[in-house]
Structure 1
Amino acid sequence: MSEQETEHREREHRQRVLKGATIITSIHTSEIPCVIRNQHANGAELKVAADVVVPERFSLYVPVDGVAYEAVLRWRRNDRVGVQFVGQGPKPRLHYG
Structure 2
Amino acid sequence: MPDAKQEPLTSSEETESDINERARRARALKRGKLLFNRGLRSVPCIIRNLSDTGAKLEFEQAYLLPQEFDLQIDLEDFEVTCERRWEEGLRCGVEFISEKRPVGKLRAQILKSSDDALTEEIDELRDSPDNYFSRKRVMDEKNKPASEQPVRTARPAGGKPGFGKRR
Alignment TM class, shorter chain as reference: 0.7 to 0.9
Identify which range, 42-51 or 53-62, moves more after superposition: 42-51
- Is there any run of 5+ residues in structure 2 with no aligned partner, and where? 1-13, 108-167
Residue in structure 2 matched with residue 96 of structure 1 by the alignment: 106
User: Is 1:71–1:84's contact at 8 Å kept on the other side of the alignment?
Assistant: yes
Out of 78, 82, 89, the position equivalent to 1:78 is 89
Change (3 A) 1:30 1:36: same
SS at 1:71's partner residue? Answer: strand
Alignment of 1:1-40 (within 5 A): 3=14, 6-7=18-19, 8-9=21-22, 12-27=23-38, 29-40=40-51
Q: TM-score, normalised by structure 2?
A: 0.49
Please say if 1:54 is aligned against 2:62: no
Change (3 A) 1:28 1:70: closer
User: How far did 1:27 drift?
Assistant: 3.9
User: Is 1:18–1:38's contact at 8 Å kept on the other side of the alignment?
Assistant: yes
SS at 1:6's partner residue? Answer: helix
Q: TM-score, normalised by structure 1?
A: 0.81
**Matched positions, count:** 91
User: How far did 1:65 drift?
Assistant: 0.8
- Structure with more relative contact order (C-alpha pairs < 8 Å, separation 6 or more): 1
- Is there any run of 5+ residues in structure 1 with no aligned partner, and where? none
Change (3 A) 1:28 1:59: closer
**In proportion to residue count, which structure has more strand?**
1
Percentage of matched positions with identical amino acids: 26
User: How far did 1:34 drift?
Assistant: 0.2
Change (3 A) 1:15 1:27: same
User: Is 1:50–1:78's contact at 8 Å kept on the other side of the alignment?
Assistant: no
SS at 2:97's partner residue? Answer: strand
User: How far did 1:50 drift?
Assistant: 4.2
